[in-house]
Chains A and B, each alone.
Chain A
Amino acid sequence: AQSVTQLDSQVPVFEEAPVELRCNYSSSVSVYLFWYVQYPNQGLQLLLKYLSGSTLVKGINGFEAEFNKSQTSFHLRKPSVHISDTAEYFCAVSDRNFNKFYFGSGTKLNVKP
């Protein structure tokens, strides 16, 4: 079975500051890793994914994440955030067949002016 832990339920940050949202996972098998973003009153949208290859993956809106197998982590980063990045961010894992997707509890990013 797989599980995802997002330690920070809320992260306040000022505009133009860097941010890191933490994600750790556990799994007895190899998994694929994802970050999704949820803007208010909307469904989730795919931000980025790690399937294979380079451990540093880049997504939309200037976000990137690094897969660290030894630490079972997949932290999300952005060097300079904007007000428009205010949203809830979910880390997720799936099995190799993309049959089941498990999500973390989410981290609310609040970007302040």
Chain B
Amino acid sequence: DAGVIQSPRHEVTEMGQEVTLRCKPISGHNSLFWYRQTMMRGLELLIYFNNNVPIDDSGMPEDRFSAKMPNASFSTLKIQPSEPRDSAVYFCASNRAGNEKLFFGSGTQLSVL
């Protein structure tokens, strides 16, 4: 099993640019989570999907953030326009709905200059 795959591994962009982060969950997993990790706030849940449907997006910080899951094997997290305070590591995680173990990707290190 390839595990949860995130791309890109690193992203450096300038303020105001659009950023798209990608995630491929483990095959057969039907829940997907997006987390943001910063020194100040730790690991924050941004949004989670169940069977490709967004269930709870209360953690999404602003309207500049949006997430989609067009099918069971792909999800995106988009920031438009990006700001320096968005700099963080963004993790995607997946599990089988109702299963207690989360599987994390290696994360995307985002730097907004």
Given A98-B95, A100-B45, A101-B45, is A43 in contact with B104 using a C-beta cutoff of 8 Å?
yes
Given A43-B91, A43-B105, A46-B101, is A100 in contact with B42 using a C-beta cutoff of 8 Å?
no
**Tally of contacts, chain A with chain B, CB under 8 A:** 58
Size category, B interface: 20 to 34
Number of chain A residues close to chain B: CB under 8 A? 23
A42 to B109, CA, bound (A): 11
By the criterion CB–CB under 8 Å, are B98 and A105 in contact? no
B26 to chain A, nearest CB (A): 12
Pick from B42, B43, B48, B93: contact of A99, CB below 8 A. Answer: B48
A104 to B101, CA, bound (A): 17
Q: Is A103 in contact with chain B by the CB < 8 A criterion?
A: yes
6 A–B pairs (Cβ distance < 8 Å), ordered by A: A32-B100, A43-B106, A43-B107, A94-B100, A98-B97, A103-B35
Chain A residues at the B interface, C-beta cutoff of 8 Å: 32, 34, 36, 41-46, 49, 51, 90, 94, 97-106
